[in-house]
Amino acid sequence: MPETSPAPKPPHPRLVLALGLLLPCVGQVLNRTPQRALTFLFFAVLFGWVTMNLVTAQVCAARGYPAWRCFVAQHAGLLFIWLVAAMDAYQHARVRWVEFHFRQAP
């Protein structure tokens, strides 16, 4: 019977979370789910585009928003999906980490 090679050790969940917060959808790539990363990236761009067009500079000026608040309001869709993707990547990495160490236990 052929011997199967052991599964490679998954990356630490905190590393996945940190990289997912620094760069969008990198956590999913580290978890070996690139299709999921592309899906999150598509929706981040889509929601970012929608909020950018809903909250224009004229709206911010009319309401008297400071520059940082206007930036956050214009990019709220992108930031929301970015954070959801980071949490999703951490959750999947944590599950993979626990499963790997459970299988390694004697």
Round to whole Å and give the CA distance between 81 and 29.
Answer: 16
Encode pLDDT of 71-93 as tens digits.
Answer: 998 999 999 999 999 999 999 99
Prediction pTM value = 0.85
Round to whole Å and give the CA distance between 52 and 79.
Answer: 12
pLDDT at 35: 97
> Where exactly are the structural domains of the chain?
13-104
Mean pLDDT score across all residues of the chain? 91
